[in-house]
Amino acid sequence: MKKDQKLKSLFGYCCAAIAVSIFLFRVGVGFFPDVTGKKERIHIPFEVVSTELTHRLAALQLGDARDLVIISNRQYLIANIMRCLGTRHYVLVSDENNTPDIDNLSAVRMKRGIIIWNASVQGESLPQYFLEIFPSAKPLEPVRVPYIRSAEMFTMGAALVPGG
């Protein structure tokens, strides 16, 4: 009976040690992305990216950025840019089968849209599947800002889709 209890205690300690080590690793990734070599979504400064994007759109004299339809293949980009810019419409494009959400696609045809993608991962040129759906898209200069707690740069690609 005592041997059984010792094994259970040992197993419990091993489980606790594994949980604590995973927690410490996650803390390390969060606070030291350059040391761990792992950049994640939490390191993308969406407020700064959105401000830079707003300035670029204002320089093009496109009116209120809140009227744009956000188009992307990544939900986290859509959600964060929509939150920062205050936009109300979006189109999520699946890069596997090139099918956008049809209900929101009509909003792009009536208004202007802006395609955004993670150029740090996908490259700076406009991905082909976006061009197949939106052939009139005009690429803009990529937005480059430093990651949070990192010396490396995050690059977000952007392209304007004329409406009307």
Q: What is the pLDDT of residue 162?
A: 86
Whether 98 and 18 map to the same domain: the answer is no
pLDDT of 91 over the 90 cut: no
- Token output for 29: 């990734």
- 52 and 24 share one domain: no
CATH of the domain at 104: 3.40.190
Question: For the chain, what is the mean pLDDT?
Answer: 82
| Pair 19, 100 in one domain | no
- Quick one: 112 and 132 in the same domain? yes
Residues 86, 108 share a domain? yes
Please check whether residue 47 lies inside any domain of the structure: yes
Same domain, 17 and 63: no
115-161 residue pLDDT tens: 999 998 899 999 998 888 888 899 999 999 998 888 888 999 999 99
The neighbouring-strand residues paired with 156 are: 118, 143
CA 32 to chain centre: 20
Q: Contact, 80 vs 44, CB < 8 A?
A: yes
Same domain, 93 and 151: yes
Total domain count, the chain: 2
- What is the percent of the chain where pLDDT is above 70? 82
**What would the two tokens of residue 12 be?**
């419990």
In a domain, 135, yes or no: yes
Both 15 and 72 in a single domain? no
Q: Same domain, yes or no, for 74 and 149?
A: yes
Identify whether residues 79 and 101 lie together within a single domain.
Answer: yes
Both 51 and 117 in a single domain? yes
Predicted pLDDT at 103: 55
* In a domain? residue 36: no
Tell me: do 17 and 91 sit in the same domain.
no
* Residue range of the domain that includes 112: 41-161
